[in-house]
Amino acid sequence: EHNLRKILGSKFAKKDSNKGLVQKITEIHESGDLDRLKEWRADPRRCAIMELSKVWGIGYRKAQTLIDVHRIWSVKELKVAVEENPKLVEARVHRTLRCHDDLQLRMSREEAMVIGDRVRSCARAVFSELLPSHDVTKLKVEGPMGSFRRGQPDCGDVDVLVTHEDWLDDPERTLSLDKQSQESSLSRSSYARTRNLGDEEATEGEDPDYGAQRSRASRDKFLATLRDRLHAQGFLTDHLGGDGFQKKTTTVQGEVPGAGCSSYMGICKPRETHRRLDIKVYAPQHYAYAMIYFTGNDYFNRSMRCYAKACGYSLCDKGLRKAARSGVSHKDGKYIDNKVAVGRLVVCDTEKDVFDVLGLDYKEPHERNVSDNATEVAEKARRLFEEQRRGGVVVDSSDDEEDARPAGRFRL
Ligand code: DCT
Ligand code: MG
């Protein structure tokens, strides 16, 4: 046990700390399995939750309600129940339920590429029609992202990212200080101070996030047209939301509402099987970050976000910004992002720039599969948090550190 605690690091150093976890690891090491897990596998309610939450649009909570309130224990039962009582689930869940079996299947790289190419050619056509005075050869349509870009042999779905350098801003739209900051009676100057968050030099020049906010309408229109075109061609069979459904409000001070991506989620049918397809249209100032996010994998992303947090920043698909945080990070066992204010976007043109800015070694997409690399970044983050603690700074990082590890996803 002593050796194990040594391997697990400082959080396990004290005798009897994290006792349950250490016991579980020992049990797996010695017997190759875990009694608790065996119980789980044999528990019909848990199995039913697992089965029901595989339906796109049904989460853990909803699955519990379906079981406990409506006595629905399987996808098969759900399909029947929904026929009688359509209100049981959201409209979009009806659509995923219809092709649920298809959506459980993974597709070949070749089929994923066919979907990507189809979106690419249609996107070019739509762009030239809608924005004829802009150079269509500069339209970037990247995808499939995700597992495909990481070189995996098969893919669960396809994500496509779109940007164009002219979406940096839209001079035809005027700047709108968001409603929220007006309502919270933040004056323009205090709002500006929040945006800069101690970064004095950042006060100079135009804030790139406002450009993204202004180009949003053009991106939304482009995506809606692309969606309708692909639907008219019979390629898209169902829409699941995004594009206009997305909230444009925010609770984080300094975050520019509506500056994010235009987003479409849907189902396509390139051949005989239905497939999940997402299309996101980003402003170019956010694109490098979006590339990193949508390449994944999720563990790798989490480790990078955790590292950025340890550096006092907030990282997401829309950029890297200085962040001020409150201490609270947990409620009802659910993780809550405890950012209270974010500063101005750190402008990066390429994925490598993002790694450089953070001081991390660049990893090629295929190197972002392995949890080893995620662990390496997570370890760096842990060391930073520890240094800060030693320096007398109170940091509540335990959940993030755990989050950043591959095992963080499963709680037993
Ligand atoms: N992502 C993330 N955190 C999540 C889910 C997703 O950071 N909780 C990012 C990482 C990958 C990208 O979004 C696309 O997500 P998926 O398509 O779910 O992952 P994938 O790696 O492409 O795997 P699959 O082949 O199953 O689609
Ligand atoms: Mg994917």
Band (pLDDT 50/70/90 cuts) for residue 310 is confident
Band (pLDDT 50/70/90 cuts) for residue 204 is low
Looking at residue 2, its pLDDT comes to: 79
In the reported structure, the alpha carbon of residue 200 is separated from the centroid of ligand 1 by a whole-number distance in angstroms of: 36
Bridge partners, residue 345, by sequence: 321
In the reported structure, the alpha carbon of residue 117 is separated from the centroid of ligand 2 by a whole-number distance in angstroms of: 16
* Confidence check: pLDDT of 181 > 50: no
Query: Whose CA is closest to 108, among 155, 147, 142?
Result: 155
Strand ranges in 328-379 using DSSP code E only, listed in sequence order: 330-331, 334-335, 339-345
Q: State which amino acid sits at residue 22.
A: V
| Widest CA span in the chain | 69
Looking at residue 5, its pLDDT comes to: 84
Cβ of 147 below 6 Å from ligand 1: yes
In the reported structure, the alpha carbon of residue 64 is separated from the centroid of ligand 2 by a whole-number distance in angstroms of: 26
For residues 315 and 305, the answer to whether their CB atoms sit within 8 Å is yes
Cβ of 111 below 6 Å from ligand 1: no
- Ligand in closest contact with the CA of 315: 1
In the reported structure, the alpha carbon of residue 258 is separated from the centroid of ligand 1 by a whole-number distance in angstroms of: 23
Write the residue with the smallest CA distance to atom 27 of ligand 1.
156
Cβ of 294 below 6 Å from ligand 1: yes
SS (H, E, C) 272-340: CCCEEEEEEECCHHHHHHHHHHHHCCHHHHHHHHHHHHHCCEEEECCEEEEEEECCCCEECCEECCCEE
Write the residue with the smallest CA distance to atom 13 of ligand 1.
294
pTM for this entry: 0.83
In the reported structure, the alpha carbon of residue 132 is separated from the centroid of ligand 2 by a whole-number distance in angstroms of: 32
Q: What is the DSSP string of 94-142?
A: HHHHHTHHHHTS-EEHHHHHHHHHHHHHHHHHHHHHH-TTS-GGG-EEE
Average pLDDT, rounded, for the chain:
84
* Confidence check: pLDDT of 228 > 50: yes
Cβ of 146 below 6 Å from ligand 1: yes
